[in-house]
Structure 1
Amino acid sequence: MFITVLHGEHKADIFNIHCQVQILLDGIKRRCGCEDEEEIDLADESGQVKNLLQNKHRSAAELLGERETYVLLGIATNNERPSEAGFIPLLKDEIIINSRFLAKLATWHEQKKPSPRMKSRRAHKKSTLDIPAAGGLRNHSPHGSRTRTPLGSPKQSRKF
């Protein structure tokens, strides 16, 4: 399982993604010659940031697609507002780094935050109730306690 990382002036390197994200990012910094960058991340060729820094302890294979191509990004932090970091493509290729790519990078923070409408949907979402196993109930489901059926006759089950 590997990915291709585009960087520098039309350079590309292949990296194994069967490892932890932090190890992948350290390897990318070393091989791509960007050790002076404090933090890096990746974006796909459309400009969609992969947000690897928020998932440093997960497997890179869970977050990145096998045999996909990604653009190396440097992260410029605003000292006044560190939560509002900006992305700088570390690739010099006018075909990939075009106005559409840069616009998507610029709006990444807006896309990351859920909209007020989505927040209200989450707040009003009904929670499900998981009833623990009780005497007289038999679990016929391979999914644990999601479904329960009574042991008695159909008339007795109406009482539940």
Structure 2
Amino acid sequence: MFATVRFGADCQIMVNLLCCIQTLMSHLMWKCQCRPEDCIDLVDEKGSLMNLSQVEDPASEYASKYLQGRQRYILIRVVREENSEATSYESLLEDLGKHYPDLPDQLEQLSGKIPQTIQRKKSSLTTAQPQATPQTKSRALHSKRGLESKNNPK
């Protein structure tokens, strides 16, 4: 039972899921050249967090219990703030938006941040609504009268 993990500059490796989570995570950290103090995890292609970094006993739990065979996962870094309970997630796959357009926003949602695209959509909705001016009202009235005269000839 294998899965694919994507990371770096469009790199990917196949990993065996019939091993303990601790072994899998150690292998991923070594293969991806993470720092020893880094905390890593995986998200699937839909943006669901696998929470492998939260497993209570990673030395005895098998990865196959949490991950599905023949699936693709993206390696992420879990950053926990020291003075708060805030957690943020950073993709370790470069150009994540190029490969998975929705995932950057989903990682920001997981982090509790409002994605920039949603902020832009909200601001464009509030500013894009046309304001009725006397000139536009006058034009609308004239076009309405023109249609009435065409439909009701004298």
TM range (shorter): 0.5 to 0.7
- The equivalent of 1:132 in structure 2 is none
The share of aligned pairs that are identical, in percent, is 28
- The equivalent of 1:105 in structure 2 is 107
Tell whether the 8 Å contact from 2:89 to 2:110 is kept in structure 1 after alignment. Answer: no
Of Structure 1 and Structure 2, the greater helix share is in 2
- The equivalent of 1:85 in structure 2 is 87
Q: Does 1:65 align with 2:68?
A: yes
Q: Does 1:20 align with 2:23?
A: no
Larger Rg: 2
Kindly provide the amino acid, as one letter, of the partner of residue 94 in structure 2.
K
Q: 2 CA distance for matches of 1:109 and 1:7?
A: 19
Aligned-residue offset at 1:51:
0.5
Q: Deviation per CA, 1:92-140: give whole Å up to 9, x if none.
A: 1332343x21222222267xxxxxxxxxxxxxxxxxxxxxxxxxxxxxx
Kindly provide the amino acid, as one letter, of the partner of residue 31 in structure 1.
K
- The equivalent of 1:11 in structure 2 is 11
Q: 1:109 to 1:90 in 2, by over 3 A?
A: closer
Q: 2 CA distance for matches of 1:35 and 1:97?
A: 25
Q: 2 CA distance for matches of 1:32 and 1:23?
A: 14
What's the TM-score once normalised by structure 1's chain length?
0.61
Q: Deviation per CA, 1:20-68: give whole Å up to 9, x if none.
A: 1111101100112113452000001121110001222421001000011
Moved over 6 A (4+): none
Tell whether the 8 Å contact from 1:89 to 1:97 is kept in structure 2 after alignment. Answer: no
Tell whether the 8 Å contact from 1:47 to 1:105 is kept in structure 2 after alignment. Answer: yes
Q: 2 CA distance for matches of 1:36 and 1:96?
A: 27
Q: 2 CA distance for matches of 1:74 and 1:33?
A: 12
Q: 2 CA distance for matches of 1:109 and 1:35?
A: 21
- The equivalent of 2:151 in structure 1 is none
Q: 2 CA distance for matches of 1:44 and 1:54?
A: 16
* Matched position secondary structure for 1:43: strand
Structure 1: which 5+ residue stretches go unaligned? Answer: 111-160
* Matched position secondary structure for 1:95: helix
